[in-house]
Structure 1
Amino acid sequence: MRLIPINALRPGMVLGKKIYSSEGLILLAEGVELTAGLIRRLGTLEIGYVYIEDRMTDDIIVPELLTEETQQQALRSLRTSFKNLENQPALKGSFHHLGKTFSGMMESIMDEISEHDECMVLLTEMNTNDYNLYRHSLNVCIYTTVLGVAHGYSRDELKVLGLGALLHDIGKTRISQKLLQHPGRLNDEEFREVQKHTEIGFAILKDEPNIPLLSAHCALSHHERLDGSGYPRALKGPDIHEYAKWIAITDSYDAMTTQRVYKPALLPHEAVEVMYAGSGKLFEQSFLATFRDRVAIYPPGITVKLHTGESGVVSKIHANVPHRPVVRVLTDAEGVPLPAPHELDLSQTLTTMITGIGHTNQEHT
């Protein structure tokens, strides 16, 4: 399977993974042969990359941290609960269903993530058209739970952290969707309105008997930054709870690697580079180091260019050195397809460097 940009699609290529709408509905199933018309349609959906089947890489599997069934069940629950909050005229009374719904969900998420021996921060789904609150909430929860496992939190601590990540943006259910999807730069008044989602989220969660208070504080503090430049309280490093510091990282990463109406998605290595510019200033340095060591910056199936001029597809990731994957070399330095592709383990050949991301001159179908 290969991950390629939309502008590299050609008629006759076959989809390797489903393509979902922003509401989680299947737009195109895997195995569909692309026509010129379908490619034009995909171009209108603002999807940056898709997985395609490819005879030279058909044995490359893109791992899933959660089964499709668990992901879709989680998205349905998030959509139902968040829609109920959006449609409620005033925030009065309690929301006991939140604790019951999401506590059980976190148990399932932790169980499935713990089944993976080499737990990595993987792009959860490239084949979606545009950001939505439900997918973002689940992504941030998955990423944060992976990092929590790597950090060594207990199961009880993971559950509190994961619930905080899952519900960190629940306050956005009370913010105008038109404002949240605004395609241009917000003015000061609009930005202050969006900032309110942190305090609204805390107000929704803080008194729920099945939602830990620390999880509610994640909703309140995930936009705080070490240097005091965050909101809503302009807290500085020592005053920000460590759970909120983790979610600050995963929330920012998912926002950058997800297609938005006002900006294209970044690939993982690009997002990590941007985030490292804020190391020690915006994000906790040691937490960011853990993130860097666990994120698959070159996802399986993506085409990479080597300093030798050769190019190939990432076929495997090493959990201990994710930036040095195994590459299936497909073309030589002149871009000519090799008659016999070979595997190059960059963790063993340290003098070979990845110099770029792209697609080969000739796609094998």
Structure 2
Amino acid sequence: MEWKFVRLLSIGQVQPGMKLGKRIYNEEGLTLLAEGAELTVSILRRLGNLGIDMLYVRDEITDDIVLPEMVTDETRRQAIKQIRTVYRSMMNDTMGRISYPHLGYSFRKMTEEILNDLGSREDVLIMLGDIHTTDHYLYTHSFNVCLYTLTLGMAAGYSKDDLFTLGMGSMLHDIGKTRIPPEVLLKPGRLSDEEFEEMKRHTEHGFAILKDEPFVPLLAAHCAFQHHERLDGSGYPRGIQGGEIHDFAKWIAITDSYDAMTTNRVYRRGMLPHEAVDILYGGSCIQYDQRKLEVFRDKVALYPVGLTVKLSTGETGVVTSVPPKTPNRPIVRVIEDAEGARVQPYEIDLSSRLSVMVERIKEA
């Protein structure tokens, strides 16, 4: 397992001269800025222009805080490379003439690698995603949704065969976007009604692409078809309800929405996990399956390691770890008292101090 010594700060809190604690990727999964790089004024300005508003940095106050990775860098890099290679070919194939006979085989292999990584870790939690630029969202989103969905599928006790199908369906859920015109897919702002109708067609395109592909389970094609359906019939493309929607698509509906909300986009900053979970719970029993949301809530780290928080006691601290059994009650290292004065750091385990709550995220 890989560990990084980090603290998570808004870019406004980062001081020139600080060292980057975790590498930054572009949306193709390639390293944009390596960990350990010195953050200068010009670099910080450039990162801000690229839509990055939070960074992991090395901090002497918290230099023993470590961040667990859900999968290895190599698994992550290879998966995004595979997605990028196939999707780019399909985007360039405007007439739909190229076939992809090994699509199912190669994506099944990547699903197996992700499952192996997740299976080698005990009590895996869904952590805040890697820091990315906002230039192309599709590749890393497809990977993240697969990673999160498989974490939930494992927690739900699915068989190995079901996990393979769920993994492929979640990794390929947005493959239909390769058939959406680039000016709509990559538009840096709100879509018009006409453009949104065009975007919604990616579910139908995805089903058409996958349903006859060798080595791709038909159920994976239905994941692409149904992941925007909602329990109350308000989704698309068919407006089906409740039991008409396959369970796999219900899982992907949650992880797809969560990653969309927590990822930086050109037109808005990404939410923190607790903010996104609150919104998802607002749709419990209406749009999202309540029991699946409960599994999700128990597997997501609401307050990421390294985040600076204000406690209900008035004290300020940094999240040092997230207990797998109580992911909404982290261990917090207090660094300031209620008056804002620096103190000799000490830790509070919120899983045992139930009277103390995280009141808000501490901003600069």
Shorter-chain TM-score tier: over 0.9
Q: Does 1:95 align with 2:100?
A: yes
- Contact 2:94 2:179 survives alignment (8 Å): no
Identical columns (%): 54
Correspondence list, 1:316-327, <5 A: 316-327=321-332
Does 2:358 align with 1:358?
no
Which residue does 1:108 correspond to in 2?
Answer: 113
Q: Which moved more, 1:297-306 or 1:187-196?
A: 187-196
Within 5 Å, which residues of 2 pair with 1:1-365?
1-92=6-97, 94-129=99-134, 132-338=137-343, 340-359=344-363
CA distance in 2, matches of 1:59, 1:211: 44
1:336 shift after superposition? 1.3
TM-score by length of 1: 0.96
| Shift of residue 188, structure 1, vs aligned partner | 2.3
CA–CA distance in 2 between the matches of 1:40 and 1:119? 35
Give secondary structure in 2 for the equivalent of 1:8. Answer: coil
Relative to 1, partners in 2 of residues 1:51 and 1:297: Cα closer, same or farther, differing over 3 Å? same
Conservation of the 8 A alpha-carbon contact between 2:21 and 2:36: yes
Q: CA RMSD in A?
A: 1.3
CA distance in 2, matches of 1:98, 1:59: 43
Letter in 2 for 1:355: E
The more displaced of 278-287 and 172-181 is 172-181
Cα separation, 1, equivalents of 2:17 and 2:192: 46
User: How much does 1:130 deviate?
Assistant: 5.0
CA distance in 2, matches of 1:94, 1:33: 46
Q: Compute the displacement of 1:127 (Å).
A: 4.4
Q: What is the one-letter code of the residue matched to 2:319?
A: V
Q: Take 1:87 and 1:12, find their aligned partners in 2: how far apart are those partners?
A: 42
Q: Mean Cα displacement is larger for which, 172-181 or 101-110?
A: 172-181
SS in 1 for 2:310: strand
Q: 1:315 to 1:130 in 2, by over 3 A?
A: farther
Cα displacement (A) at 1:122: 1.1
Q: Is the 8 A contact 2:102 2:214 kept in 1?
A: no
Deviation of 1:155 (Å): 0.9
Aligned length: 359
2:261 and 2:270 in contact (8 A); partners too: yes
Structure 2 CA distance for aligned equivalents of residues 175 and 230 of structure 1 = 19
| Aligned residue identity for 1:79 | R
Classify 1:354/1:285 alpha carbon distance in 2 versus 1 (closer, same or farther; 3 Å). Answer: same
**Structure 2 CA distance, aligned partners of 1:190 and 1:356?**
37
Instruction: Tell me by how many angstroms 1:186 deviates.
Output: 2.1
- Find the aligned partners of 1:188 and 1:236 in 2 and give their Cα distance: 23
Post-superposition offset of 1:92:
4.1
Do 1:18 and 1:26's aligned partners in 2 also have CA atoms closer than 8 Å? yes
Aligned equivalents of 2:132, 2:81: Cα separation in 1: 18
Q: Where in structure 1 are there 5+ consecutive unaligned residues?
A: none
